[in-house]
Amino acid sequence: MPDGSGWERAPQATQPVEEKIQARLALAKEFKAKAPKRAVELADEVLTRIGERDDLAKEKADATFLKGEALRLTSDFRNAIATLQIALALFETLNDAPSVADALNELGNAHYGLGDCSNAIAFYERSLAIKEKIGDKRGSATVLNNLGNVCYSLADYARALRRYQQSLAIKEEIGDKRGIANSLGNIGIVYHNLADYCSALECYRRSLLIRQEIGDEPGIAMSLGNIGIAYSSLGEHSNALSEYHRCLAIFEKLNDKRSVAMSLGNIGSAYKRLADYASAMDSHRRSLAIKEEIGDKQGIAHSLLNLGDVCVSLGRFSEASEFFERALSQAVQIGAKRIEAECCLEMGRCFGKRRALERNS
């Protein structure tokens, strides 16, 4: 009788701990995208609570994986990779093929964040092989899209286009409308980089229609912005400006400050191409103010470059040089080599125009 009674009570003693672990994991997942640092803390709490308990091996693997995802979202890529490698080993021990594939995909994301494209591709391809084997079509579409992103970064546009189109085909098969819209946007961006602006515009418009159908407001704004960029590349700057303003209105409604600043930058560039320099300066200054408010250092450098560029067009070379020097200082501070090079190029262009004006006066 005592033995039987004790056996019945044992699960009740561990249940509260397991419930707390599951609740903490659920909370960490909720925080992952919007507050990844907090998600890391919550995942660590779960791992501490689990300790070396063999009966919670799956929970331990899940918490480790979630921590790795959150670390990547904080741009702590090296620690993310180390953590995700542990999660991968745990999932492999459990013979959990879907989770192994997810861990491999996330390792690809982390290596891609580091700029290590060769390792990113290797992990993505291993993940894709498992997802295809187990019939995870949605997951396969995601990994194909990620492979497209890496190929795009490597300027391998033909391969990027092929991967994006493969991803699109799966999304169409499973009826993933949001995913279809995203893939069409990516395909449009590749066409844009191939200078096929008409095809890019067609993709952006198809993406916009789907996003309007499903009520995806951030996506609608993104599509409008892409359409504006395509119009700009076609030399249709008034049409571009119209789309940028529609895009801006949505991002302002959503209180998405980073995207508002980006939209204002696009508007400023459109005004400059239309030779409305006063409006261009105003838009770029508004963009700069928001970027300074949210601490977007790379964005600050871009806005300073844009302001300097407008000043050059106005013949205000001293003011332009000040903007370029501030942009260069910002770029050096954050180690943005590409922006540094652009700053030096613009400073040289400014100096050359100033000297030419002085010789002709």
Report which of 145, 136, 147 is spatially closest to residue 112, judged by C-alpha positions: 147
Can you give the pLDDT at residue 318?
A: 93
End-to-end Cα separation, the chain, in angstroms: 109
Can you give the pLDDT at residue 357?
A: 81
Can you give the pLDDT at residue 246?
A: 98
Report which of 95, 36, 88 is spatially closest to residue 62, judged by C-alpha positions: 88
Question: CA 285, CA 264: separation in Å to the nearest integer?
Answer: 9
Domain ranges of the chain: 290-361
- 76-114 pLDDT, tens digit per residue, is 889 999 999 999 999 999 999 999 999 999 999 999 988
Please state, in angstroms and as integers, the Cα–Cα distance from residue 91 to each residue in 96, 104, 270, following that order: 5, 11, 51
Q: What's the pTM value of the predicted model, to 2 decimals?
A: 0.77
- 312-330 pLDDT, tens digit per residue, is 999 999 999 999 999 999 8
- 166-189 pLDDT, tens digit per residue, is 999 999 999 999 999 999 999 999
Q: In the predicted model, what is the mean pLDDT of residues 276-305?
A: 94
Q: For residue 132, give every residue at least 6 positions away whose Cβ sits within 8 Å of its Cβ, in sequence order, or none.
A: 140
- 187-229 pLDDT, tens digit per residue, is 999 999 999 999 999 999 999 999 999 999 999 999 999 999 9
Instruction: Give percent of the chain above pLDDT 90.
Output: 73
- 336-349 pLDDT, tens digit per residue, is 778 889 999 999 98
Residue 7: pLDDT band (50, 70, 90) is very low
- Hey, what amino acid is at 115? G
Mean pLDDT, the chain, rounded, equals: 91
Residue 16: pLDDT band (50, 70, 90) is low
CATH superfamily of 290-361: Tetratricopeptide repeat domain (1.25.40.10)
Can you give the pLDDT at residue 333?
A: 86
Angle, CA of 337, 344 and 296, to the nearest 5° = 50
Report which of 297, 268, 270, 260 is spatially closest to residue 285, judged by C-alpha positions: 268
- 30-79 pLDDT, tens digit per residue, is 877 778 888 899 999 889 888 888 888 999 999 999 999 999 887 788 99
